[in-house]
Amino acid sequence: MPESSPISLEADLLEVAELVSQLVSIASVNPAIDPSSAGEAALATFVEDWLCQRGVEVAREPTGLPGRDNVIARVRGNGGGRTLLLNAHMDTVGTDEMQDPFVARREGARLHGRGAQDTKGGLAAYMLAVASSRRLKLSGDVVFTAVVDEEHGSAGTIACLRTLDADGALVAEPTALEAVCCHKGFQWLDVHTEGVAAHGSRPDRGVDAIAHMGHAIVALDRLAAEVAGRPGHPTLGTGSLHCSLVRGGQEMSSYPARCQLSVERRTLPGESRDDVEREIQAALDASASGRSRQPVQMLTSLERPALQTPDTAEIVTHLRAATEAVTGRRPGSVGQAAWTDAALIAEAGIPAVVFGPSGDGLHTPTEWVDLESVATCSDAVLATIRTFCA
Ligand SMILES: [Zn+2]
């Protein structure tokens, strides 16, 4: 569709407000974050029923996590067109000190509650767009995945990618209606030092694993400064490294036999797992000191890639043109700090862009989403479907 064609606004603000309120009022805290949570199951049932009632073909798919299925919906085209994948996560972070986290409270255009911004506003926008896309005459398919576990291990999106393929993907996270084409990746590493346990009165026998780790921490802090001084990425800046957790020692009057440090490295597009391990191991080797002279052991516990979708990818150009047709403003192609499941989708060979509404306070006690931007997001996603899957 030419950019100048008028696009009728499909998403009705009352309908949007009602749907976001319903989604927020169904608790779906990730049980890996809060083990007392029942997880995403009740929300999955709601999403499945909501889509089914609107005539959308929908099914559950297991993710390998007990009781935590994805919901997969498909609007089939007539054949020959591009397939668009829409992805939104159903889980939220915990509630901490949040007051009434699952009571959706409206204040003008703002809707407050846990998950309102991250990412139930975006989930609602995509659900409405999927339901409306049934009325379009499309050649390609629209595949919608409402996934579990984005806030922890991404088991939902990983499970989807075992069977799904598409020509482009939109991922619902709050982006204030900008097209986020790049973000950093991350790598978690565990570092271990060994000492020799002994009574605190026997320095002739004891070797202090915590003191040994102290040397390693100083070396990693120097490496962090070096990483921060590199030229960096035009949008994302530099990579980074910090010490996240440290554990060691048994009691006051003993030499600690072991110490463990967990380190997070935020990576740029193009930085590989091997590169990261090599430079960290080199820093640790140089730090091995003290009486133990033991090498410092290191292991990657989790690694997630960075996102770097080219501005020229079809999904980017379609999303930007479609959003401009809806809002009159062409969204920027920007980077963001936080990691998303879009990186896994892109790694699987599907060009992916993060796109969602505006709001504030995600992962804090004051989370809210702007309902008007949810409606605009829904219209922009529908307009993207209309051209991408034409
Ligand atoms: Zn999120």
| 107-166 pLDDT per residue, tens | 999 999 999 999 999 999 999 999 999 999 999 999 999 999 999 999 999 999 999 999
Give distance in angstroms: CA of 350 to centre of ligand 1. 19
pLDDT at 293: 59
Give distance in angstroms: CA of 89 to centre of ligand 1. 7
Start-end of H helices in the chain:
13-25, 41-53, 121-133, 155-161, 209-228, 273-287, 314-327, 342-347, 371-388
Q: Please choose, from the candidates 277, 322, 336, the residue with its C-alpha nearest in 3D space to the C-alpha of residue 302.
A: 277
H or E segment and range at residue 259: strand 258-267
Question: Tens digit of pLDDT for each residue in 240-257?
Answer: 999 999 999 999 999 999
Q: What is the reported pTM?
A: 0.91
The answer to which of 220-234, 289-303, 351-365 has the lowest mean pLDDT is 289-303
Tell me whether strands 333-336 and 84-89 are parallel, antiparallel or unpaired: unpaired
- At residue 297 the predicted structure's pLDDT band, cuts being 50, 70 and 90, is confident
Strands (E) across 215-257 are located at 240-248, 254-255
Token pair for residue 374? 């949810």
pLDDT at 5: 39
Give distance in angstroms: CA of 128 to centre of ligand 1. 18
- At residue 292 the predicted structure's pLDDT band, cuts being 50, 70 and 90, is low
Average pLDDT over all residues of the chain: 94
Give distance in angstroms: CA of 312 to centre of ligand 1. 25
Tell me whether strands 168-172 and 352-354 are parallel, antiparallel or unpaired: parallel
Give distance in angstroms: CA of 174 to centre of ligand 1. 7
Give distance in angstroms: CA of 237 to centre of ligand 1. 22
Give distance in angstroms: CA of 256 to centre of ligand 1. 40
71 compared with 13, residue with greater pLDDT = 71
Let me know: does 169 contact 112? Beta carbons within 8 Å: no
347-356 mean pLDDT: 98
Give distance in angstroms: CA of 339 to centre of ligand 1. 9
Look at the alpha carbons of 384, 168, 41, 76 in this order and tell me if their dihedral is positive or negative: positive
Let me know: does 190 contact 177? Beta carbons within 8 Å: no
The answer to whether the bond into 300 is cis (omega within 30° of 0) is: no
Q: What is the three-class DSSP state of 142?
A: strand
379-to-201, 229, 297, 365 alpha-carbon distances in Å = 72, 42, 52, 29
Give distance in angstroms: CA of 341 to centre of ligand 1. 9
In this structure, the chain runs to a length of: 390
